[in-house]
Amino acid sequence: MRTTTQEEIRKKIRKKIESKKEDINTWMKRYHIDYEMKKEIMKNINKILLEEDKDAEVENLFNVLPGYMKKHLKRLLCLKTLSQVELLQLMDDSVLIMMCDCLKPVTYAVDHIIFPKEHPIDRMLLIIEGTVWTYGTSGEETATKELGKGDVYGEELLMWASPYKAGIDNLPTSNENVKCHTQVEGFALSAKDLLKVVSKHEQRWKLNLDP
């Protein structure tokens, strides 16, 4: 009886894996994950699901991957985007890599206000999927700007962190509402983590202040 129960559990887990593979493959295709990395991701996800019976929702993919793979994927998805930010075009690669390593995956629902007007900008957001609209006032119906895949919001933090201003209380303030027009997936770099990067790479911290 016990053997039968174990077999049924394993069948159920394997069925769950198969039901998620299509979503995961779609996610990897969308972000142009190379073939070797796809194989590695699927191997790890299969192993984790089999051993721990975890769900692998696409938006939580990072939660079921080992640390070294999370780091690799963040660099793959975000390093180029960071290097193209105007203020970061003179930055040493080692600094950009550490910034990548500090990024945290985020998902925001449709109509979610990521940065409310007159609230502190406490993170930089790198958008990898979805559309964000900015509004000058809370009652404004027409968006003043549209941001999408490959765009970054919150670059003010780069200037804020550079002179080592004292404390998180001095964060820059948003002068607009930043709202999700669609579901948005991306990576966020918190103000605290950015300060850690600057502190560690003080000698290499160089912003492009004269583009």
Q: What is the pLDDT of residue 49?
A: 55
Q: What is the pLDDT of residue 164?
A: 59
CATH of the domain spanning 78-204, picked from 3.75.10.10, 1.20.1250.20, 3.40.50.2300, 2.60.120.10: 2.60.120.10
Q: What is the pLDDT of residue 55?
A: 45
Ranges of residues in the chain with a pLDDT under 50 are 1, 53-58
Q: What is the pLDDT of residue 72?
A: 87
- Convert 169-185 to b/e letters by CB count within 10 Å (16 or more is b): eebbebebbbbbeeebb
Segments of the chain assigned to CATH 2.60.120.10: 78-204
Q: What is the pLDDT of residue 42?
A: 78
Rounded Cα distance, 76 and 100, in Å: 9
Rounded Cα distance, 70 and 68, in Å: 6
Amino acid sitting at position 102: C
Give the model confidence (pLDDT) of 158-169 as tens digits.
999 986 565 566
Q: What is the pLDDT of residue 67?
A: 83
Q: Considering only CA atoms, which of 22, 10, 23 is closest in space to residue 49?
A: 10
Rounded Cα distance, 197 and 96, in Å: 9
Q: What is the pLDDT of residue 28?
A: 79
> Which residue spans within the chain are E strands per DSSP?
104-108, 113-115, 123-129, 132-135, 145-147, 152-153, 177-180, 184-190
pTM, entire model? 0.80
Q: What is the pLDDT of residue 33?
A: 80
Question: Are 103 and 147 spatial neighbours (Cβ–Cβ below 8 Å)?
Answer: no
Q: What is the pLDDT of residue 195?
A: 93
Q: What is the pLDDT of residue 133?
A: 95
Q: Considering only CA atoms, which of 131, 114, 107 is closest in space to residue 182?
A: 131
